[in-house]
Amino acid sequence: MKLKDLLKKTLVKEAAPRMKKDPDVAKLMSLLKDVSRIENGIKAKDSSRYSHVKRDFKKFYDALINLKGTLNVKGPTIPESKDDLPMDKMDSAEMKPFRGSKIK
């Protein structure tokens, strides 16, 4: 029996876990659509003017796509447990001083 035959028998197809949708990314994509509409309006009304700003629109799109990718990589910061709550929502008894701090 060859290795490829063993791999075929034990191969289990699993779906990747779904990523949480980040609400900020959705806002960025709606912003991208709005700017695209503005760009198309400028292109239709005055192509001479558009030819001067075309490069700036491309830079904006590239920056927005890079920002979207970075936000997706870092993941959404939606609190899911009591440990993830912001400091102002915690009780003072739950707050612990940092190691090496002078607070006792």
Range of the domain at 52: 20-74
Is position 86 within any domain? no
Is position 39 within any domain? yes
DSSP-derived letter for residue 81 is S
pLDDT tens for 68-80 read 989 888 876 655 5
Is position 11 within any domain? no
Of 11-20, 43-52, 68-77, 86-95, the range with the lowest mean pLDDT is 86-95
- pTM, whole model, 2 decimals? 0.54
Is position 79 within any domain? no
Structure token pair of residue 2: 């060859």
Is position 62 within any domain? yes
Total tally of structural domains belonging to the chain:
1
Is position 88 within any domain? no
Is position 30 within any domain? yes
Is position 13 within any domain? no
Q: How far apart are CA 93 and CA 87, in angstroms?
A: 12
